[in-house]
Structure 1
Amino acid sequence: MNDNHSSSAWSTYSRTVFIAFAMIALGLIANEHRVHVLGILPWLLILACPLMHLFMHHGHGGHSGHSGHDHASHQAGPVQPKKEADDV
């Protein structure tokens, strides 16, 4: 027997054939279902609005629902410069 073949389950040739087949299949599916996918896009945009609202307002301080969080930067007054002690 010839031992020049790699021991992996996917040889380079098999992997290349599979990738080519998958690309052709995805291209045909995308072409056939393009109308359905484009019809869903406006609904995805509408769905993205509440999701962005939930996830993008996460770090804001000052909301009444965020009790127990101490945001020192929001509660501190104006920064006062330190006075240096005179050496005697």
Structure 2
Amino acid sequence: MPARPSPRDSREPFWRSRTGIVLLMLATIGLFYVLREHFEHASRALPYLILLLCPLMHLFGHRHGGRDGDQ
């Protein structure tokens, strides 16, 4: 007989709950408003933001295939 899943396993992730969906929609609306009103300022900073992403991608990218062969 298969084991029954515990109630903890059957819970939905937060982002699929009603509260999570509402917060996600509010964040999307807020992001749209900020980008629409401040696009000129954001577009000037975009090249610098892309350059700032490079070290982050380097740091987080080495977790999934490190140099020491522990994949």
Which structure has more relative contact order (CA 8 Å, sep 6+)? It is 1
What range describes the TM-score normalised by the shorter chain of this pair?
A: 0.3 to 0.5
Structure 1 or 2: more helix by fraction? 2
TM-score, with normalisation over the residues of structure 1? 0.36
| Structure whose CA Rg is larger | 1
